[in-house]
Chain A
Amino acid sequence: GAVVSQHPSWVICKSGTSVKIECRSLDFQATTMFWYRQFPKQSLMLMATSNEGSKATYEQGVEKDKFLINHASLTLSTLTVTSAHPEDSSFYICSARDSSRPQETQYFGPGTRLLVL
Chain B
Amino acid sequence: GENVEQHPSTLSVQEGDSAVIKCTYSDSASNYFPWYKQELGKRPQLIIDIRSNVGEKKDQRIAVTLNKTAKHFSLHITETQPEDSAVYFCAATLDSGGGADGLTFGKGTHLIIQP
Bitwise interface map of B from 82 to 115 toward A, beta carbon under 8 Å scored 1, else 0: 0000000100000101111111111110000000
A102 touches B99 (CB 8 A): yes
A106 touches B106 (CB 8 A): no
The contact of B44 among A44, A48, A60, A102, by CB within 8 Å, is A44
Q: Is B61 an interface residue (CB 8 A)?
A: no
Bitwise interface map of A from 83 to 110 toward B, beta carbon under 8 Å scored 1, else 0: 0000000010101010000110110111
- Chain A interface, DSSP helix/strand/loop, else mixed: strand
Total chain A interface residues with beta-carbon distance under 8 A: 25
Total chain B interface residues with beta-carbon distance under 8 A: 23
A46 touches B104 (CB 8 A): yes
Q: Is A25 an interface residue (CB 8 A)?
A: no
Residues of B within 8 A of A54 (CB): none
B105 touches A45 (CB 8 A): yes
Residues of B within 8 A of A106 (CB): 99-100, 103
Supply 10 further A-B pairs (C-beta < 8 A) apart from A42-B108, A43-B108.
A32-B99, A45-B105, A95-B103, A97-B99, A102-B97, A103-B99, A105-B34, A106-B99, A106-B100, A108-B43
Interface residues of B (CB under 8 A from A): 1, 34, 41-46, 49, 89, 95, 97-108
